[in-house]
Amino acid sequence: MIVILIAIIGIIVYFWRFKDSIGKSNIGYLATIGLIFTASLDLGIIMLPPITDMSVLGEEYGVNHHAFEISLWAGVIWLFYLAGIFYYKYIEDKYHFLEFKLSKILFCIATFLTYAFSIQLFKDTLPSYTDIRTEIFIVASLVVAIIMYSLPKFKLVLSKLLIPAILFLPLWAVISGATFDTDVLSTLPKAQIEVWNHMENPDVDFFVWWWIIWSLPTARYLYNSCQKTSVSKLGIMVIIVPLLLVIPWISVDMSLDFIKMNQGLFWYMIILAVLFLSSSIVAMMYSTNEVFELLSVKSNRVKSYLSCVALIGVTAFIYLVHLPLGFIASIYGISILTGIILYGIKRYRIRNNKSGESI
């Protein structure tokens, strides 16, 4: 895993010297930063305390546990985001590996499973907070998702509300009595080194693999919607500014016991998590729609019905089978490798005066 991270940093350093613009559309700097900041938190607002006891890891490695969490959470994922954006800008736009029908279908399936994994995390971690049946929250998320899918304006309003809502969360926690850790900045460099030195730790390894599968669809979305800007400015937007936001966000001590004792804070987090989960479900529906389009399903109504059936089927499936991160990552890898092979075949056919359009 350390080799992967070194390779990513090498890619970033190599492309940093390019001054051409990144992105296709212009949604503004603040909106782009907000997208990056919230995309990396997603269900982490409720899943992190039950999955990983950062205080134990911090004590084990002799660093501030909040600094360790920031290094694990923000120091890795945004590197993957930036590397992913570079992939779409400098490789995918040139060679179109993911534009072949088969590679695109595989990529959509992997994206679908990535968001399904978010539902699985929600299912696994919610019982740590409440005895209320998880299925109730899943159904609520499905209802909100269907509304978001049917009414794009409603989805747009919710997306705009999520950014200030997520930023207000640590403030609410402080008002509710949570302590603020002032020693984070002084120990952050050492904590970052410890994260890199302990990639073999199962907790650290889990997050790195999660960042790998999460970065490709997120980077594609960011690339298609981010501000037209230079690489250096993009680096500031993707890494530096979100990191400055996440330091105070994570420095607030919101332990599992503290959250459970503050019902207002608990329900605020749950509502945010349901909204994030709904966004994941909508993304799954878009992915299935794209697959059915590639399979030449013409009717929008049929595609919507099939998307709902696929969504319900996967939701039921993940209650029975645990999706391994390595399996999802391998599908992404196979989709890109398939695109490379098909690109090679196409180039060979063109070179031999044959049409490559049928691939």
Exposed e or buried b per residue across 274-313, where buried means at least 16 C-beta atoms within 10 angstroms of its C-beta: bbbbbbbbbbbbbbbbbbbeeeeeeeeeebbebbeebbee
**How sure is the predictor about 1, in pLDDT bands with cuts at 50, 70 and 90?**
very low
277 three-class SS: helix
Distance CA 143, CA 161 (A): 18
Distance CA 140, CA 132 (A): 13
Residue 25: its pLDDT value, please? Answer: 54
Q: Tell whether the model's pLDDT for residue 84 goes beyond 80.
A: yes
For the segment 284-302, the average pLDDT, to the nearest whole number, is 80
Handedness of CA 79, 80, 82, 87 (dihedral sign): positive
**How sure is the predictor about 334, in pLDDT bands with cuts at 50, 70 and 90?**
very high
The residue type at 123: K
Per the confidence metrics, is the pTM higher than 0.75? yes
Higher per-residue pLDDT: 53 or 61: 61
Distance CA 318, CA 334 (A): 22
Q: Tell whether the model's pLDDT for residue 102 goes beyond 90.
A: yes
